[in-house]
Amino acid sequence: MCGIVAYVGNKDICPLLLEGLKRLEYRGYDSAGLCVGTKAGFYVKRAAGRISVLEAAIDDKMHGDKALVGNIGMAHTRWATHGPPTECNAHPHMDDQQRVALVHNGIIENFASLKQFLTEKGHHFSSETDTEVLAVLIGHFYQGDLAKAVQLALREVRGTYGLAAMAVSEPDTLVVARRGSPLIIGVGKDEYIVASDAAAIVEHTTQVVYLNDNEMAVIRPGGFKTMTTDDIPVTKAINEVEFSLQQIELGGYEHFMLKEIFEQPEAIANCLRGRVDLHEGRVVLGGIGAYSRDVVRARRIIITACGTAWHAGLVGEFLFEDLAKIPTEVEYASEFRYRNPIIEEGTMVLAISQSGETADTLAALREAKDRGALSLGIVNAVGSTIARETDAGIYLHVGPEIGVASTKAFCGQIVVESLLALSIARRKYMSQNVLNEFLQAIIKIPDQMRKVLEQSSSIRDVTAQYIHRENWLFLGRGYNYPVALEGALKLKEISYIHAEGLPAAEMKHGPIALINPGMPVVFVATRGSQYEKLLGNIQEVKARGGKIIAVASEGDDYIHRVADHVFTVPETIEPLQPLLTVLPLQLLAYHAAVLRNCNVDKPRNLAKSVTVE
C-alpha cells in the first residue's frame, strides 16, 4: 500500500528520501513523488511507475537557490485507489493556491462532499484523488499556521489517514498526523525521519515514537511536539525498534521471499526462544502477563485475520479445540466487522496479523473489544497498531517480512498458537507427559525444516514440468487442509496461476469436474489420522488423469507408487505437521513465479500491508 517518508534534519535530503521510498517498495505501489523545501520554494516531482522513474526525472543539476538541498522534505509511494496511477494523481498534492503540500496514506471517505463544498467556495482541482481534496481543504483553512490548518481540515474529514504536510511560508515545519494508517517518528541526533513503516527509519535511528490514532506532531529542526488532532498536548514515550538494517536487506538471495523461506528454521528458533522450558516442562508466554487467568478461563475463541494469517487461524482452530478444548471459530476480519457478531462473556478474540496494520483485522478487533471481548494479538511487527490495541499479545519474533507473499509469518503464527493452546491446556486437561512430548516435538522443528528446504532444486524441477498449466488444485485434510489453502494462495498471488485449495473430501462435491488429464493436483498427504482417506482421494484424481504431486512423510514407500512426484517431510506429531508441509508449497510457488518471470517480491496489484478496506 502507500508509503510515506519525511525528513527534518541536515543530511542530503533527496537521496535520503529516495532511499527511504525504496525501503518501502515491498509494500506495493504504482507511482511515487517527493517534495523538498529549497531556498527558492518547494521542489515537487512526481512520476508514474517505479521509484527509478522518479529518480530519473529528478533534476539534480539545479543550482543556486533552487539547488536540491534542504533540511525538510517528504516523499510518497502511491497505490492507486481514487484515479489511475498517473503522474497527476501521484503525491505530493499541492493546494490550488500552491501554498501547502501533502502526502497521504488512507482514504478520505467523504471526499466527494468536501470537493463539492470547496468547488462552491471557488477552489479547483487537477487530479482525481481524495488526497488532493484534503490538500485543498488544508489550504482553504491556512492562515500562516500549518498545524492549525491541518487540525481544522481533519475535523471535516471522515476516513483514514497517515499524512505529512509542509507549507511554503513555514519552511522549517513538518506536520504529521494519523488516524487508521500507521505513522512513526524516528528520533535521531539532530534529525527526525517520519515514515509509515520502520523499514524506512532503521538505517538512521532505532529510537521511535509511535503515533496513535487522532494524534499529530509538529516537527522542526530543534525538536518536535505531539498533540491530539484536537490540539491537546500528549507526551509520547520513545521506543526501540527491534530489527536491524541487515534483516531488511537481501543478503545474497535473489528475492526476499526466498530469503524468508530459507530463514524459517532460524525464525522459528527465535520464535520459540525463551518460551519452551524443557527442563521444567512448561511454556512461558510473558506477553499474556496479567491476563493469563482470563485466557485460561476463556469459554470460546474467535480468531480473526485475513489471507495467510487467516489460514494460520484455521490451523489454530484445530489446535485450540484439540489441545485446549475451547470451541473456536475463525472469521474473515472483513466479514466479522460488518456482521452483528455475538460476543458472550468469556469470549476471547485472537487477532492474527504479520503487519499488525491490516485495516480489516484492526476494525474486527475494535468491534470485538467494543462488545466486551478479551483481545489478544498474535502479531509480528512490534509496536504496530494491532499489537498496541489488544489487551495482551504474543509477538512472533520471526524478524521483518518484506516479501509480499507471507511465509515465515505463517509458521510463526502456528508456533505461537501452539504454545498458547498448550499453556491453556496444561492448566486444564493436559498431562505433563503429553505436554513434554509436544515440547520435544516442537523444538525439533527448526532442524526438520532445514531438511525439507534441501529439496528446493527438485521442487523447482517438478514445478518446471507443469509451469504452463493454468489450473492447479491443492488438497489436504485435517491439520493439512489449511496448508492446502495456503499453498493455493501462494501460487496464485505470485505466479498468477489459478489455483484452488480445498479440504480433500470436498473435491467430489464439485471441483472434481475440473480434473482433466495432466492437471497438477498437489496433495498434502503426510501420515496421520486421515492418511488412508486421503489415499482414496488421490485415487479419485488419478482415475481422471490428474498428475499427483504429494507432500508425504519420510519413509512412506507406498506414496511413491501412487504419486507422480513426492516431496518428503520428517515425521512429527500431527498438530505440528503444517510447519513442515507448508515449506514445499512455498518453494513450489516461488519457483513457479521465477519460471514465469513474475516479480516475486512485488506481485501485481498486491500490497504487503493492506491498510485500506
Helix H segments across 121-205?
130-141, 146-155
610 near ligand M6R, rule: CB under 6 A = yes
**Sign of CA pseudo-dihedral 101, 103, 109, 112:** positive
Give the C-alpha distances (Å, rounded to integers) separating 113 from 119, 133, 334: 10, 10, 26
Give me the 305-324 binding string for ligand M6R, x by CB under 6 A, dash otherwise.
Answer: -xxxx---------------
In whole angstroms, the minimum distance from the beta carbon of 309 to ligand M6R comes to 4
Cβ closest to ligand M6R, residue 96 vs residue 493 = 493
**Residue of 3, 86, 78, 75 whose CA lies nearest to 42:** 75
- CA angle (246, 284, 346) in 5-degree steps: 110
In whole angstroms, the minimum distance from the beta carbon of 387 to ligand M6R comes to 11
304 near ligand M6R, rule: CB under 6 A = no
| Alpha carbons 220 and 175: distance in angstroms, whole number | 9
491 near ligand M6R, rule: CB under 6 A = no
Cβ closest to ligand M6R, residue 306 vs residue 349 = 306
Interface residues for ligand M6R in 550-609 (CB under 6 A)?
Answer: 606, 609
Question: What residues are annotated to the active site?
Answer: 2, 608
In whole angstroms, the minimum distance from the beta carbon of 510 to ligand M6R comes to 24
Count interface residues toward ligand M6R (CB under 6 A): 17
In whole angstroms, the minimum distance from the beta carbon of 353 to ligand M6R comes to 3
For residue 528, the 8-state DSSP code is S
Site stretch for ligand M6R (CB under 6 A), options 189-197, 214-222, 350-358, 414-422: 350-358
In whole angstroms, the minimum distance from the beta carbon of 339 to ligand M6R comes to 19
Phi, psi of 261 (to 5 degrees): -65, -45
| Alpha carbons 392 and 389: distance in angstroms, whole number | 8
In whole angstroms, the minimum distance from the beta carbon of 333 to ligand M6R comes to 8
| Alpha carbons 204 and 214: distance in angstroms, whole number | 26
Give the C-alpha distances (Å, rounded to integers) separating 259 from 253, 344, 399, 408: 6, 43, 12, 10
Is residue 351 within a helix (H) or strand (E), and if so which, with residue range? strand 347-353
In whole angstroms, the minimum distance from the beta carbon of 565 to ligand M6R comes to 24
In whole angstroms, the minimum distance from the beta carbon of 81 to ligand M6R comes to 16
Site stretch for ligand M6R (CB under 6 A), options 265-273, 317-325, 402-410, 577-585: 402-410
Cβ closest to ligand M6R, residue 110 vs residue 270 = 270
Interface residues for ligand M6R in 21-40 (CB under 6 A)?
Answer: none
| Alpha carbons 321 and 327: distance in angstroms, whole number | 6
| Alpha carbons 362 and 264: distance in angstroms, whole number | 26
Site stretch for ligand M6R (CB under 6 A), options 132-140, 354-362, 447-455, 501-509: 354-362
405 near ligand M6R, rule: CB under 6 A = yes
Cβ closest to ligand M6R, residue 258 vs residue 525 = 258
In whole angstroms, the minimum distance from the beta carbon of 197 to ligand M6R comes to 12
Cβ closest to ligand M6R, residue 96 vs residue 417 = 417
Cβ closest to ligand M6R, residue 96 vs residue 401 = 401
For residue 541, the 8-state DSSP code is H
Write the burial class of residue 279 (CB in 10 Å: 0-12 exposed, 13-18 middle, 19+ buried).
exposed
**Residue of 483, 539, 529, 531 whose CA lies nearest to 507:** 539
Cβ closest to ligand M6R, residue 306 vs residue 363 = 306
Q: Is 29 helix (H, G, I), strand (E, B) or coil?
A: coil
Interface residues for ligand M6R in 159-198 (CB under 6 A)?
Answer: none
Cβ closest to ligand M6R, residue 70 vs residue 412 = 412
Can you give 99-139 as a three-state secondary structure string? CEEEEEECCECCHHHHHHHHHHCCCCCCCCCHHHHHHHHHH
Give me the 220-259 binding string for ligand M6R, x by CB under 6 A, dash otherwise.
Answer: ----------------------------------------
354 near ligand M6R, rule: CB under 6 A = yes
Give me the 355-384 binding string for ligand M6R, x by CB under 6 A, dash otherwise.
Answer: x--x--x-----------------------
495 near ligand M6R, rule: CB under 6 A = no
Cβ closest to ligand M6R, residue 100 vs residue 352 = 352
Give the C-alpha distances (Å, rounded to integers) separating 519 from 50, 467, 471, 545: 36, 11, 7, 7
Round to the nearest angstrom and report the end-to-end CA distance of the chain: 11
| Alpha carbons 218 and 164: distance in angstroms, whole number | 10
Site stretch for ligand M6R (CB under 6 A), options 145-153, 237-245, 304-312, 443-451: 304-312
Q: In this structure, what C-alpha cell is assigned to residue 75?
A: 516523499
Answer yes or no: are the C-beta atoms of 199 and 609 closer than 8 Å: no
In whole angstroms, the minimum distance from the beta carbon of 407 to ligand M6R comes to 8
Could you tell me which residues come within 8 angstroms of residue 170 by beta carbon, excluding any fewer than 6 positions away?
Answer: 144, 145, 146
Cβ closest to ligand M6R, residue 565 vs residue 591 = 591
Answer yes or no: are the C-beta atoms of 505 and 537 closer than 8 Å: yes
493 near ligand M6R, rule: CB under 6 A = yes
Residues that bind ligand M6R (CB under 6 A): 306-309, 353-355, 358, 361, 404-406, 489, 493, 606, 609-610
